[in-house]
Amino acid sequence: WRPMLVDLHRPLGIAILLLVIVRLYNRLRHRPPPLPADLPAWQAAAAHASHWVLYALMLAMPLVGWSMLSAGGYPIVMWSGFNLPAIVPHDPSLYAALRNAHSLLAYALFATVVVHLSAALFHLWVRRDGVFQAMAKGPGRADEPH
């Protein structure tokens, strides 16, 4: 199973990179729904920071993975007959460092997602302030009745 999962992991990472670029472009063009006016300043700052940390991690993870594979001399096969080009030179010591970085980024992304999800559920179940519903409705529809 492991070789099959690794073969799937590589193109999925690149697909995620492309989707994150599209999502980030959309996010920069369209403002998110406003946060509740009574939200403490530290929570508003944490919300904004967590969004940008998520974007940074979702961009960094596949780029570091691609760099890692390039440094290790491993191809990224997108589909039969098409490999992505190497983006860094072959270097076993760089490969090892990037492999560690890729793992650390994975843990950081997981932790950030868990904290972000916990905050979303806090807004849904404790504050009941409509933040969760506004997120679920998507951009341009946050002002509709809950």
For 91-137, write each residue's pLDDT tens digit.
999 999 999 999 999 999 999 999 999 999 999 999 999 888 887 77
- Structurally, the chain folds into a number of domains equal to 1
Model pTM greater than 0.95?
Answer: no
Q: Give the HSE-up count for residue 28: Cα atoms under 13 Å, Cβ half-sphere.
A: 8
Stretch 80-86: mean pLDDT, rounded? 89
Q: Percent of the chain at pLDDT above 70?
A: 94
Going by C-alpha positions, the residue among 143, 109, 119 that lies closest to residue 46 is 119
Asked if residue 144 is part of any domain, the answer here is no
Asked if residue 53 is part of any domain, the answer here is yes
Q: Render pLDDT for 18-75 as a digit per residue (tens, 0 to 9).
A: 999 999 999 999 988 888 899 999 999 999 999 999 999 999 999 999 999 999 999 9
Asked if residue 97 is part of any domain, the answer here is yes
Element (H, E) at 79: strand 76-79
Q: Which amino acid is at 131?
A: V
Asked if residue 114 is part of any domain, the answer here is yes
Cβ(97)–Cβ(1) under 8 Å? no
Whole domain around residue 80: which residue ranges?
Answer: 2-137
Asked if residue 7 is part of any domain, the answer here is yes
Asked if residue 145 is part of any domain, the answer here is no
Asked if residue 77 is part of any domain, the answer here is yes
Asked if residue 146 is part of any domain, the answer here is no
pLDDT at position 139 is: 58
